[in-house]
Amino acid sequence: MSNLMTGGQMRTHEQAVIGGGSVTGLALMQRAGQGVFDAISQAFPELSDACGRRALILCGPGNNGGDGFVVAHLLAAAGWAVDVALLGEAGHLPPDAAANHARWVGTGAKRRDVLSLDQVVPLIAAQGAPDLVVDAVFGTGLRRGLSADVVEALRVSIEAARHSVAVDILSGLCADSGKWLGQAADLTVDLTVTFHTAKPGHYLAAGGRATRRLVIVDIGLPVQSARIEDAELIDAPAYSGEVARKDPASHKYGSGHALVLSGGPGRTGAARLAARAALRIGAGLVTIAVPPGAQQEVACQITAIMLTRVADSEALGVVLEDKRYSALCLGPGLGVGERTRSLVSEALSAGRSVVLDADALTSFADDPMSLFEQVRGADVVLTPHGGEFARLFPDLAEQLRAVAETGPAVSKIDVVRAAAARAGCTVLLKGADTVIAAPDGRVRVHAACRERAAPWLATAGAGDVLAGFVTGLMARGLEPLEAASHATWLHVECARAFGPGLIAEDLPEALPGVLKALL
């Protein structure tokens, strides 16, 4: 896993390193620009012959613009014809950006023009499409939405150019939240080159769709080890390798026994999906707890999975006298209401690992605090989708949904971390960008975007399978944050392995192949 540093964390880190005297801001800017130039050469080998190539560099009023001037200089030195446009007054640039502006403009007979940003659209109309456009208008310093003329210059350049590159992050996107500040510009570039670590905004919300490739350049800043306030990105290529391995000497009870509670007749499918997922991911035994009326329906559709009758919370209490049940899953297809609330309370009072999903969450919509009082401090994972999250944490959901006028904007990381602290247990908020937070403040992000895109996962029942994966891993003894993180990675990996045509039933069946590939 790697850290995702916010704009503020980057600034603090950079200033501490510069303050320590080991490097200057100007040197960091040179390394950043060089990193962008090198990444362009690597990503687009077809541009290696600079002869006749034209680049357009759009620079902004801060240090992101300073990086742009460095890139302009390097491209020109490599033989490109380069046009540079600046938003704002050169005289207002911060010192390092001003130095690189001055170097670009040159002196005397070698003086070059710098266009203003409003000359960009006419330039493209007159000259035709450039081979390359570089967006260095705003980076981590973006504080409000882009003005209409900046959006227009960016849109026309990006759409016209054969290759488009954003320096640090596509201008207009908040680096901390991945949201567009103000009006959504909905642009996409071919490549984004960022520095030191990726930023949350490269993965969350619109940020996951705003670039087709992301390259992280080492600019020589020391790597900090993960601190509790850092969000970690689940990005290792074989992330769940440890989950794929099982102790050769283990017997079935050594891998735990998961109990999945089912809804009534005609509503048992979700629990069966979760149960099969729990078994596939390695729980030694899995039992479905069915209300008596649904016994026949479930019995004729299971084989390795076992069945026990549970009419009500009292019956659940009796079943849980068997201490070998190590993890419980409540929610998929369970029904919303008092019966589910009492089953949840019974499950939580039994002191096992518990996953609460779907109806088990919605059943507490009228009084979320009564749920939080019961889960606080226990090995519990809540796995809401956006709608269920909004029922339990309406104020946080509203903060996340609100249009962000100023930056840095409230991010999915911020709200899921706040939700986990409030509930006192691990919270996994599903989506193309999944954020998992533990009550102690640790946060993991997994984004099914770019090379990990899994659009087929948006299918009925996929969430039930995810709940089953988390349950199976907790039955095996993983702590809540680890179980939720591995389940999320494997869930996407299964969808990617199966590909188009995926339905939820395919996910547990794809898992053996995925696990085998990890060994």
Taking residues 153 to 172 in sequence order and writing x for each that binds ligand NAX by CB under 6 A, - otherwise, the string is --------------xx----
Residue 63 assigned ligand-binding role: yes
Site string for ligand NAX, 177-216 (x = CB under 6 A): ------------------x---------------------
Confirm if 438 and 426 have CB atoms less than 8 A apart: yes
CB within 8 Å of 70: residues ≥ 6 apart: 29, 30, 32, 33, 34, 36, 37, 100
**Among residue numbers 13 through 42, which ones bind ligand NAX (CB under 6 A)?**
14, 28-29, 32
Least distance in angstroms from the C-beta of 171 to K ion: 4
Query: How far apart, in whole angstroms, are the C-alpha atoms of residue 38 and residue 30?
Result: 12
CB nearer to ligand NAX: pick between 199 and 257: 199
For ligand NAX, the binding residues in 63-92 under the rule CB under 6 A are 63-67
CB-nearer residue toward ligand NAX: 87 or 419: 87
Segment contacting ligand NAX (CB under 6 A): 62-70, 269-277, 417-425, 473-481?
Answer: 62-70
Given the rule CB under 6 A, which of 9-17, 305-313, 438-446, 469-477 is the region that contacts ligand NAX?
Answer: 9-17
Residue 435 CB partners (closer than 8 Å, separation 6+): 204, 231, 412, 413, 416, 428, 429, 443, 444, 445
Residue 199 counted as an annotated binding residue: no
What are the φ/ψ torsions at residue 232 (nearest 5 degrees)? -105, 140
DSSP one-letter string for 68-86? HHHHHHHHHHTT-EEEEEE
Collapsing DSSP states into helix, strand and coil, what is residue 304?
coil
Nearest to 44 by CA among 104, 130, 111: 130
Q: Is 135 among the annotated ligand-binding positions?
A: yes
Q: Which is nearer to ligand NAX, 116 or 301 (CB)?
A: 116
- Residue 220: CB atoms within 10 A of its CB come to 13
β-pairing, 285-290 vs 433-437, is unpaired
Q: Check the annotation: does 430 bind a ligand.
A: yes
Q: Which of positions 158-217 make contact with K ion (CB under 5 A)?
A: 166-167, 171
Among 61, 208, 333, 335, binds ligand NAX (CB under 6 A): 61
What is the end-to-end Cα distance of the chain in Å, rounded?
19
Q: Is 250 annotated as a binding residue?
A: no
Tell me which of 60, 207, 282, 291 binds ligand NAX, using CB under 6 A.
60
Q: Which residues contact residue 252 at a Cβ distance below 8 angstroms, ignoring those fewer than 6 apart?
A: 284, 285
Nearer to ligand NAX, 63 or 287 (CB): 63
Nearest CA to 309 among 301, 300, 323, 299? 299
Residue 166 binds which entry of ligand NAX, K ion, none, with Cβ cut-offs from 5 to 8 Å by kind? K ion
Q: Binding residues for ligand NAX, how many (CB under 6 A)?
A: 28
Rounded to a whole number of angstroms, the minimum distance from the CB of residue 306 to K ion is 56
Q: Which does 481 bind (CB under 5 to 8 A by kind): ligand NAX, K ion, none?
A: none
Q: What is the largest CA-CA distance in the chain?
A: 91
Count of beta carbons in the 10 Å neighbourhood of residue 149:
13
Tokens of 13: 């880190």
DSSP E strands in 28-162: the ranges are: 54-59, 81-86, 115-116, 132-136
71, 146, 244, 279: residue in contact with ligand NAX (rule CB under 6 A):
146
120-149 mask for K ion (x: CB under 5 A)?
---------------x--------------
Among 37, 69, 80, 138, binds ligand NAX (CB under 6 A): 138
Among K ion, ligand NAX, none, the one that 61 touches (CB under a kind-dependent 5 to 8 A) is ligand NAX
No. of H helices and E strands in the chain? Answer: 19, 18
Antiparallel, parallel or unpaired: β 231-233 and 2-4: antiparallel
Query: Is 141 labelled as part of a ligand binding site?
Result: no
SS3 (DSSP) at 475: helix
Q: Which does 376 bind (CB under 5 to 8 A by kind): K ion, ligand NAX, none?
A: none
Instruction: Answer for the pair 112, 104: CB distance below 8 angstroms, yes or no.
Output: yes
Which residue positions form the known binding site for (6S)-NADPHX? 63-67, 168, 270, 333, 385, 464
Which residue positions form the known binding site for AMP? 430-434, 463
Which residue positions form the known binding site? 63-67, 135, 168, 171, 270, 333, 385, 430-434, 463-464
Residues that bind ligand NAX (CB under 6 A): 10-11, 14, 28-29, 32, 60-67, 94, 138-146, 167-168, 195, 219
Which residue positions form the known binding site for K(+)? 64, 135, 171
Residues that bind K ion (CB under 5 A): 135, 166-167, 171
